[in-house]
Protein backbone atom coordinates (compact mmCIF):
# COMPACT_ATOMS: atom_id res chain seq x y z
CA UNK A 1 0.00 0.00 0.00
CA UNK A 2 1.27 3.42 -0.99
CA UNK A 3 0.74 6.39 1.32
CA UNK A 4 0.55 10.11 0.72
CA UNK A 5 0.05 12.84 3.29
CA UNK A 6 -1.50 16.07 2.04
CA UNK A 7 -1.89 17.55 5.52
CA UNK A 8 -1.43 21.30 5.42
CA UNK A 9 -2.13 21.49 1.68
CA UNK A 10 -5.11 23.42 0.31
CA UNK A 11 -6.89 23.05 -3.01
CA UNK A 12 -5.88 22.41 -5.68
CA UNK A 13 -2.59 20.92 -4.38
CA UNK A 14 -4.07 17.80 -2.72
CA UNK A 15 -5.82 16.78 -5.93
CA UNK A 16 -2.69 17.36 -8.01
CA UNK A 17 -0.54 15.36 -5.59
CA UNK A 18 -3.01 12.48 -5.40
CA UNK A 19 -3.58 12.34 -9.17
CA UNK A 20 0.15 12.12 -9.77
CA UNK A 21 0.47 9.29 -7.25
CA UNK A 22 -2.55 7.47 -8.69
CA UNK A 23 -1.02 7.59 -12.16
CA UNK A 24 1.99 5.71 -10.78
CA UNK A 25 -0.04 2.90 -9.16
CA UNK A 26 -0.29 -0.59 -10.54
CA UNK A 27 -3.74 -2.12 -10.86
CA UNK A 28 -3.38 -4.07 -7.59
CA UNK A 29 -2.00 -1.18 -5.53
CA UNK A 30 -3.89 0.97 -3.06
CA UNK A 31 -3.25 4.56 -2.04
CA UNK A 32 -3.90 5.73 1.50
CA UNK A 33 -4.41 9.50 1.56
CA UNK A 34 -4.21 11.47 4.77
CA UNK A 35 -5.17 15.12 5.00
CA UNK A 36 -6.78 17.81 7.10
CA UNK A 37 -8.56 20.16 4.70
CA UNK A 38 -12.30 19.26 4.43
CA UNK A 39 -12.79 20.71 0.92
CA UNK A 40 -9.89 18.53 -0.28
CA UNK A 41 -11.55 15.42 1.11
CA UNK A 42 -14.78 16.03 -0.79
CA UNK A 43 -12.88 17.05 -3.93
CA UNK A 44 -10.71 13.92 -3.83
CA UNK A 45 -13.71 11.68 -3.23
CA UNK A 46 -15.68 13.23 -6.11
CA UNK A 47 -12.75 13.22 -8.55
CA UNK A 48 -11.74 9.64 -7.80
CA UNK A 49 -15.23 8.16 -7.98
CA UNK A 50 -15.88 10.07 -11.22
CA UNK A 51 -12.81 8.35 -12.72
CA UNK A 52 -13.90 4.92 -11.49
CA UNK A 53 -11.63 4.62 -8.47
CA UNK A 54 -13.03 2.97 -5.36
CA UNK A 55 -12.85 5.30 -2.35
CA UNK A 56 -13.20 3.99 1.19
CA UNK A 57 -13.28 5.98 4.41
CA UNK A 58 -10.71 4.87 6.92
CA UNK A 59 -10.97 5.45 10.64
CA UNK A 60 -9.08 8.62 11.39
CA UNK A 61 -6.10 8.19 13.68
CA UNK A 62 -6.34 9.80 17.08
CA UNK A 63 -3.55 12.20 16.15
CA UNK A 64 -5.39 13.37 13.01
CA UNK A 65 -7.06 16.28 14.84
CA UNK A 66 -10.06 16.63 12.55
CA UNK A 67 -8.31 15.14 9.54
CA UNK A 68 -9.34 12.37 7.20
CA UNK A 69 -7.99 9.20 5.65
CA UNK A 70 -9.18 7.75 2.37
CA UNK A 71 -8.18 4.42 0.87
CA UNK A 72 -8.26 4.64 -2.93
CA UNK A 73 -8.15 1.65 -5.27
CA UNK A 74 -7.74 1.86 -9.05
CA UNK A 75 -10.49 0.44 -11.27
CA UNK A 76 -9.97 -3.23 -12.08
CA UNK A 77 -9.61 -2.45 -15.78
CA UNK A 78 -7.14 0.44 -15.37
CA UNK A 79 -3.58 0.72 -16.56
CA UNK A 80 -0.78 2.80 -15.10
CA UNK A 81 -0.97 5.74 -17.48
CA UNK A 82 -4.75 6.20 -17.39
CA UNK A 83 -5.81 9.51 -15.89
CA UNK A 84 -2.29 10.91 -15.84
CA UNK A 85 -3.18 13.66 -18.30
CA UNK A 86 -6.56 14.60 -16.79
How many folded domains does the chain comprise? 1
The whole-number average pLDDT for the span 18-35 is: 94
| Domain encompassing residue 18 | 2-73
CATH number of domain containing 28: 3.30.110.40
The whole-number average pLDDT for the span 54-76 is: 85
Residue 64 in this model has a pLDDT that exceeds 80: no
Question: Does residue 80 lie within any of the structural domains?
Answer: no
The whole-number average pLDDT for the span 13-33 is: 94
Q: Quick check: bond before 29 cis, omega within 30? A: no
Q: Is 48 a catalytic residue?
A: no
pLDDT of residue 83: 47
1-27 core/surface letters (b: 16 or more CB in 10 A; e: else): eeebebeebeeeebbebbbebbbebee
Nearest to 30 by CA among 53, 7, 50, 52: 53
The whole-number average pLDDT for the span 15-23 is: 95
Q: Which of 8, 10, 11, 39 is catalytic?
A: 11
- pTM for the complete prediction? 0.82
The whole-number average pLDDT for the span 5-15 is: 94
Average pLDDT of every residue of the chain: 87
Amino acid sequence: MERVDVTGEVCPRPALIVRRRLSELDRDDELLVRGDYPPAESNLRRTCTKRGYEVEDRPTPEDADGGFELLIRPPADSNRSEGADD
